[in-house]
Homo-oligomer: A and B are copies of this chain.
Amino acid sequence: MYARAAVNEANKIPAISWTTAGAAMTAKPPAVGSPQKLRAGQTLFAEGDDATGVFEVSQGILKLYKLMPDGRRQIMGFVSSDSLIGITSADSYLYTAEAVTDVGLVRYSRAQFDRLVDEVPGFARRALAVGFHELNSAQDQMLLLGRKTATEKVASFLLFLSGLQSGSVDSDDVHVPMSRSDIADYLGLTVETVSRTLTKLKRDGVIALRNATNTKFVNRDLLEDIAAGEMASAY
């Protein structure tokens, strides 16, 4: 009944790729997207740019953000493999997409994408699944932004990161590829508060911090309880 462990779980949906469309391919080869690479820090597209294509992430992490006129920034999400970005009903992109790490993607023109939706059986349903999955993630993030404390936000973020990297070495080791500033703008906090909160979690023996980019869960259960808001007023 409750919004338990409202950790953002984007990117757990199987890839949408023409190569998975099966038999339909032989009858009529669908338009193939073009592979593309991006260096960390490069911008894929900016809010307001003409929306000329849709991208499927095949490797690496991007951040999606919006800016306010005075420079306030909100990162809508960090996306990795199998996410679709750049879909919009408007004719321009509604957010900026920038590479956090080196990134590999597949680009589809809008026409190609529409053709895939209309002509490849099952593609539309999968795109729908991806879309609504991302909507669910966005809703979890709304709960986080609107109602969670700084500690709950940071705990949720660490668990989200861990989820992004599941399938790695030790699942309790978390690599943090983005800056404190990115984390702050994702959680609706300041850099200082993120830093202080991580220090506090370390002091309390919930996590360990080797350096700024390497964290380890010391007490994952506690971290999950904190993230879910189940620690009364202690966090």
Q: Which residues of B contact A24 (CB under 8 A)?
A: none
Nearest Cβ distance between residue A180 and chain B, in whole angstroms? 16
Which of these, B46, B66, B140, B148, contacts A143 with CB under 8 Å? B66
Residue of B nearest to A188 (CB): B146
Q: Which residues of B contact A133 (CB under 8 A)?
A: 89
Expressed in whole angstroms, the Cα–Cα distance for A134 and B188 within the complex equals 21
Which of these, B124, B187, B230, contacts A124 with CB under 8 Å? B124
Of the stretches A67-75, A171-179, A192-200, the one at the interface is: A67-75
- Interface check A57, CB cutoff 8 A: no
Which of these, B114, B135, B229, contacts A69 with CB under 8 Å? B229
- Interface check A128, CB cutoff 8 A: yes
- Interface check A169, CB cutoff 8 A: no
Q: Among residues 76 to 126 in chain A, which have CB atoms less than 8 Å away from a CB atom of chain B?
A: 76, 87-90, 94-95, 114, 117-118, 121, 124-125
- Interface check A138, CB cutoff 8 A: yes
> How many A residues face the partner with a CB closer than 8 A?
56
Which of these, B132, B135, B147, contacts A68 with CB under 8 Å? B147
Is there contact, CB below 8 Å, between A70 and B132?
A: no
Is there contact, CB below 8 Å, between B74 and A136?
A: no
Is there contact, CB below 8 Å, between B72 and A2?
A: no
- 18 A-B contact pairs sorted by A residue (CB < 8 Å): A3-B47, A13-B89, A66-B140, A68-B228, A69-B228, A69-B230, A70-B232, A73-B147, A74-B147, A76-B139, A88-B132, A90-B136, A94-B136, A95-B139, A117-B125, A117-B128, A138-B139, A138-B142
